[in-house]
Amino acid sequence: MSLPLTSLTTALLMMGYMALTVRIMLLRRQHNISLMDGDNPHFQRLLRAQGNFAEYMPFALLALLLLELQGAAFLPLSLLAATLVVGRASHAYGLLIGEPNYKDFRGRVFGMVCTWTPLGIMAVWLCLISLV
């Protein structure tokens, strides 16, 4: 069975997660931070960006997988998946660059809207499929 949408979305999100993780590793080495956050505000934001990413993605990918397995319409599901990827990137950008450098919360807020909206739609969609 082929699951191209879930596979591609998972791959893209994994790359984003890995990019955040590599930044954490490099910053740990640069500032000799072995555990916790070293009271470094940038490092705290980076850890939170990675943590937030990790908290939301399992549910999103599981919902996407279940919908794709059940034959949900490809186009709307693709739009939801694309919105999730954009949302996660926007949230990380907003948290790491927009807020600390420009006092701009729009990237983070846009990222959460682009995460919560697909999650909510997929939750309702899964409920409806389950009841039919």
List the one residue out of 33, 32, 25 whose CA is nearest residue 50: 25
Residue 43 vs residue 91, higher pLDDT: 91
pTM of the model: 0.90
List the one residue out of 47, 53, 66 whose CA is nearest residue 127: 66
pLDDT at 35: 78
Q: Give 97's DSSP letter.
A: I
What does R_g of the chain's alpha carbons equal in angstroms?
17
pLDDT at 41: 84
pLDDT at 86: 98
Whether the per-residue pLDDT at 38 is higher than 80: the answer is: no
What is the arithmetic mean of pLDDT over 8-12?
A: 98
∠ CA 113-117-122 to the nearest 5 degrees?
155
Q: What is the pLDDT of residues 40-80, one digit of tens each?
A: 888 889 999 999 999 999 999 999 999 999 999 999 999 99
